[in-house]
A and B are shown apart, each in its own frame.
Chain A
Amino acid sequence: MTALRNVAAIVEKEWRHYFGSPIAYVALFVWTMLFGIFFHFAFTLFLRQSMMMSQQMEFGGGPKLSINEWMIRPVLHNMAVVALFVAPMLTMRLFAEEKRQGTIELLATSPITDLQIVLGKFLAAAGLYALMILTGLVNLLPIWHYATSAPEWKPVLTGALALLLIGSCFIALGLFVSTLTRNQIVAGILTFCLLLGVWTLGWADEPTAGPVMKVLGYLAVTTHMEDMVKGVLDLKDVVFYLSFIAFGLFLAQQSVESQRWRA
């Protein structure tokens, strides 16, 4: 009970910081704008393809294009890349700023555990990120209104979930990096580099890859997104993401605690 209240207090405090500074607005703006731009491109491409298909119809006809596959899925894929840029923005100050301001001493001498602090900060950042995803999804709503055959909503839901999970992994990792330094710029850049590294692991996942590359590919956050974006919710992917997040938070908590021992 107290634990929940402590976590909630930290979440509320972090949201105050996010919305009391330009960070939240910049992140929301960048995210929704890019979502809109990608959606626009996917939309025009879809229209052109559909047009070509309908022309072929006269000669026996081509297949009907799926909106889910041709419009929504590419946008969600692109947004995962945007998450790569946005996540460091959300996490870089979380601990670095507390350390620079000395307010970490306030938290550390209050009856609240390190894990509660870490969880609160993670949930605050992940919550803001979830809000960003929701505002982005608003772009998709008109499809249901205008499309002659409405797209399936379930793959959109699993796709959004994949986006949330992949971003949360980034946030958990960024949170850990933020505990390592008192300079938020350093934390931001280091997080971004690390995330890029994790991202490129996905390229190792090829059909012809050897066992080592297979393992690296498995560790990549992107490979587990594919099925979910297609609408296949596999427990093993969800478990992978949740363990990735848990590991990041564990590292962050250990780092916060150990710094007191080394101080």
Chain B
Amino acid sequence: MIEVDNLTKRYGRTTAVDGISFVVKKGEILGFLGPNGAGKTTTMRILTCYLPPTEGTARVAGHDVFEEPLEVKKRVGYIPETPPLYPDMEVATFLDFCAKIKGVAKSERRARVDSAMEKCRVGDVRKTLIGRLSKGYRQRVGLAQAILHDPPVLILDEPTAGLDPKQIIETRDLIKALGGEHTIILSTHILPEVSMTCGRVVIINKGKVVAEDTPENLTHRLSGAGTLRLDVRGDSAAVAEALRSVPGVTAVRPHAQAGDVSALDVEAAAGADVRADLARAVVQKGFDLLGLQQVGMSLEEIFLHLTTSEATAEAAPSPAPVEASA
């Protein structure tokens, strides 16, 4: 549905988006993740034909954003970071205006406006001036505006920014409900949101794609599913030697040393559960096994890990241990 190929956008000397490529299939909800200034908004603006790309191509629903912008715009619903609303218009009037410029036929206009208002739960403020609405309502009016013409593609730039927790949950449910019939790109820097709503994640940093996968796979892959941390009393070199002899173990790294207790990270081949063997090996060699933990990475840590440069990554907190039983 959306094909982005080697997309580049330069503002003068600064490169905001640097050769991004990704594909979004029909009905998919793609999470677009990255720190502020990573190029999320720029990419979305190119996809909605607001900005022309410097290099590369982007096709939305089979139409090139540069060659056929009007065709693309007909098929895309978009909410920018701050929803574009006229404060001196009533909600219903505003949506009616949006329906007109989005090319909704006159006969359908009323029904479409009503259904969008119902879906986004703004029906109770239809006669209120937008300028008097709370932030949450404005965000929802923005969303109603985006789905008015029933576009196959929705592009949402931080749709939950500035909402209270209840509204965030409601908005997420709405987005999930819209997925399936609509193809959605959703940008955010709230990470749980991504694991909750998105089928796939693209993480970008400094204008480049640094990772692309399902939220589960990302967590799995980057945490190094097989990494175990052992706390052992005894000479760390000897312990490491003993651990390496266990079949299935691919690497052993000393992690920390406190007195005579050393913490070691053990990596095992994918799929192999070596915990029992490790424990036996340690005890058989006469060392004391004080702890055995599986090291996991939350999406936050993966995000930090991927988006912080090498130098700062060293200083960043190490992956949090997760209980083996968990």
Q: Within 8 Å CB of B70, what residues of A?
A: 111, 113
Determine whether B229 belongs to the interface, using a CB cutoff of 8 Å to chain A: no
Determine whether B188 belongs to the interface, using a CB cutoff of 8 Å to chain A: no
Determine whether A154 belongs to the interface, using a CB cutoff of 8 Å to chain B: no
Which one of B76-84, B261-269, B277-285 is at the interface? Answer: B76-84
Determine whether B22 belongs to the interface, using a CB cutoff of 8 Å to chain A: no
**Are B100 and A6 in touch, CB under 8 angstroms?**
yes
Determine whether A9 belongs to the interface, using a CB cutoff of 8 Å to chain B: yes
Which one of A15-23, A29-37, A39-47, A241-249 is at the interface? Answer: A15-23
CA distance A10 to B98 in the complex (A): 10
Seed contacts A111-B102, A263-B11; 20 additional CB < 8 Å A-B pairs:
A5-B100, A6-B100, A9-B101, A10-B101, A13-B89, A20-B88, A20-B89, A101-B84, A101-B85, A105-B80, A105-B84, A106-B98, A108-B50, A109-B48, A109-B50, A110-B73, A110-B102, A111-B101, A111-B103, A261-B52
Determine whether B195 belongs to the interface, using a CB cutoff of 8 Å to chain A: no
Q: Within 8 Å CB of B73, what residues of A?
A: 109-111
A86-108 CB contacts (< 8 Å) to partner B: 101-108
**Are B88 and A17 in touch, CB under 8 angstroms?**
yes
**Are A109 and B100 in touch, CB under 8 angstroms?**
no
**Are B101 and A112 in touch, CB under 8 angstroms?**
yes
- Which one, A104, A107, A263, contacts B51 given CB within 8 A? A263
**Are B78 and A109 in touch, CB under 8 angstroms?**
yes
CB distance from A191 to the nearest CB of B (A): 22
CB distance from B46 to the nearest CB of A (A): 11
A interface residues, tally (CB under 8 Å)? 28
B134-160 CB contacts (< 8 Å) to partner A: 145
Which 5 A-B residue pairs are closest in the complex by CB-CB distance? A106-B84, A9-B100, A111-B73, A103-B84, A109-B48
Determine whether A260 belongs to the interface, using a CB cutoff of 8 Å to chain B: yes
B76-112 CB contacts (< 8 Å) to partner A: 76, 78, 80, 82, 84-89, 93, 97-98, 100-103
**Are B80 and A102 in touch, CB under 8 angstroms?**
yes
Determine whether A148 belongs to the interface, using a CB cutoff of 8 Å to chain B: no
- Which one, A9, A108, A113, A261, contacts B97 given CB within 8 A? A9
Interface size grouping (class) on chain B: 20 to 34
B1-60 CB contacts (< 8 Å) to partner A: 11, 48-52
Q: Within 8 Å CB of B76, what residues of A?
A: 109
CA distance A167 to B97 in the complex (A): 28
Determine whether B172 belongs to the interface, using a CB cutoff of 8 Å to chain A: no
CA distance A104 to B86 in the complex (A): 11
**Are B145 and A102 in touch, CB under 8 angstroms?**
no
Determine whether B74 belongs to the interface, using a CB cutoff of 8 Å to chain A: yes
Q: Within 8 Å CB of A21, what residues of B?
A: 88
Determine whether A149 belongs to the interface, using a CB cutoff of 8 Å to chain B: no
Q: Within 8 Å CB of B84, what residues of A?
A: 101-106
**Are B48 and A16 in touch, CB under 8 angstroms?**
no
Which residue on A lies nearest to B52, using beta carbons?
A261
**Are B98 and A110 in touch, CB under 8 angstroms?**
yes
Determine whether A2 belongs to the interface, using a CB cutoff of 8 Å to chain B: yes
23 pairs from A and B in contact (CB 8 Å cutoff) = A2-B103, A5-B100, A6-B101, A12-B100, A13-B89, A16-B88, A20-B88, A20-B89, A103-B84, A105-B84, A106-B84, A106-B145, A108-B49, A108-B50, A109-B48, A109-B49, A109-B78, A110-B101, A111-B73, A111-B74, A111-B102, A260-B51, A261-B52
Which residue on B lies nearest to A108, using beta carbons?
B50
CA distance A20 to B94 in the complex (A): 13
Once A16-B89, A17-B88, A109-B76 are accepted as A-B contacts, the answer to whether A260 and B101 lie under 8 Å apart by CB is no
Q: Within 8 Å CB of A102, what residues of B?
A: 80, 82, 84
**Are B86 and A105 in touch, CB under 8 angstroms?**
no
**Are B86 and A17 in touch, CB under 8 angstroms?**
yes
Q: Within 8 Å CB of B101, what residues of A?
A: 6, 9-10, 107, 110-112
CA distance A135 to B88 in the complex (A): 26
CA distance A107 to B50 in the complex (A): 9
CA distance A26 to B82 in the complex (A): 31
- Which one, A5, A112, A260, contacts B52 given CB within 8 A? A260
Q: Within 8 Å CB of A2, what residues of B?
A: 103
Of the candidates B11, B70, B71, B86, the one having the most CB atoms from chain A within 10 angstroms of its own CB is: B86
Q: Within 8 Å CB of A109, what residues of B?
A: 48-50, 73, 76, 78
CA distance A104 to B45 in the complex (A): 13
Q: Within 8 Å CB of A108, what residues of B?
A: 49-50
CA distance A260 to B50 in the complex (A): 7
CA distance A101 to B50 in the complex (A): 16
Q: Within 8 Å CB of B80, what residues of A?
A: 102, 105
Q: Within 8 Å CB of B100, what residues of A?
A: 5-6, 8-9, 12
Which residue on A lies nearest to B155, using beta carbons?
A109
**Are B97 and A13 in touch, CB under 8 angstroms?**
yes
